[in-house]
Amino acid sequence: MSTVTKLLLPLALAAAISACSKPADTAAPAAPADTTAAAPAEAAAAPAAPEVAPIQVASGTYKLDPTHTDVLVQWTHMGFSNPSAHFGNVDGTLVYDAADVTKSSVEVTLPLSGLNAFTGKFDEHLRSADFFDAAKFPTATFKSTKVEAAGTNKLTVTGDLTVKGTTKPVTLDVTINGAGEHPMLKLPSVGFDATTTLKRSDFGVGAYAPAVSDEVKVRITTEASIPKAE
């Protein structure tokens, strides 16, 4: 072996050892996984509420059915309870014009003899001069002055309420519950609910306010039919 070869051999061996011991190039890091949740698909549009079908009320003059008419009044008693009283034996007439509801009208008489709070002693007190003074003012009355459509199967009825000789305007929010031939009477019929809120002091029956609330909630439900022609 030549001297040159002897000199080069150790150098080549050192280079080979050095190459083998050198760590391999670090591979390019993988792109981090996208941990962001995929954007949810656009929410489906909420289904539209089903349209309420208009109730077809026949035009005519209806007689209120006292058996299925109730005028309920409710108040707060000293913050402890919410008693109620009912006006029954209602007499009334409803004129309905399907072509032009503004030509409709209603008149109702509420006899104080039909006032019922389900306790005889309390009924007597309500009819006394402290409240309705029924001996002097035996009835309350309501007579409409305006009837307006207020949406599907809804009406706004404004009228004059007379209680204890005092007359004030009152507005009723009315819902038509149903209409058609009455299954028992076989007559064109209609049913309504109505609500309003009154101040009893406006009508001279404000005794014990405010301990007994001056504000009174009124809820009415009624049926009426067109009588057979005589």
pLDDT in tens, 56-93: 999 999 999 999 999 999 999 999 999 999 999 999 99
CA-closest candidate to residue 52, choices 154, 129, 171, 205: 154
Residue 177 lies in a domain: yes
- Cα gap 15→11, rounded to integer Å: 6
Residue 209 lies in a domain: yes
Rounded mean pLDDT, 101-129: 96
Residue 48 lies in a domain: no
CA-to-CA dists, residue 183 to 53, 81, 186, 189, angstroms? 21, 39, 6, 9
For residue 198, give the CATH number of its domain.
2.40.128.110
pLDDT tens digits, one per residue of 176-222: 999 999 999 999 999 999 999 999 999 999 999 999 999 999 999 99
- Cα gap 209→87, rounded to integer Å: 21
- Cα gap 154→95, rounded to integer Å: 16
Residue 109 lies in a domain: yes
pLDDT tens digits, one per residue of 20-59: 444 444 444 555 555 555 445 555 666 776 788 999 999 9
Provide the pLDDT for residue 30.
Answer: 54
Name the amino acid, one letter, at 123. Answer: D
Backbone angles phi, psi at 113, to 5 degrees: -65, -20
CA-closest candidate to residue 106, choices 194, 186, 3: 194
- Cα gap 98→188, rounded to integer Å: 13
In the chain, how many domains are there?
1
Q: Which residue has the tokens 């209806």?
A: 62
Residue 23 lies in a domain: no
Residue 141 lies in a domain: yes
- Cα gap 96→144, rounded to integer Å: 12
- Cα gap 217→210, rounded to integer Å: 15
CA-to-CA dists, residue 16 to 21, 24, 38, angstroms? 9, 14, 51
Strand partners, 64: 224
| Residue 82, number of CB atoms within 10 A of its CB | 11
Range of the domain at 210: 60-225
CA-closest candidate to residue 93, choices 78, 107, 114: 107
Residue 47 lies in a domain: no
Q: Are 60 and 96 in contact (CB under 8 A)?
A: yes
Query: What share of the chain in percent tops pLDDT 90?
Result: 77
Residue 124's H or E segment, with its range, is helix 120-127
Residue 41 lies in a domain: no
Provide the pLDDT for residue 52.
Answer: 86
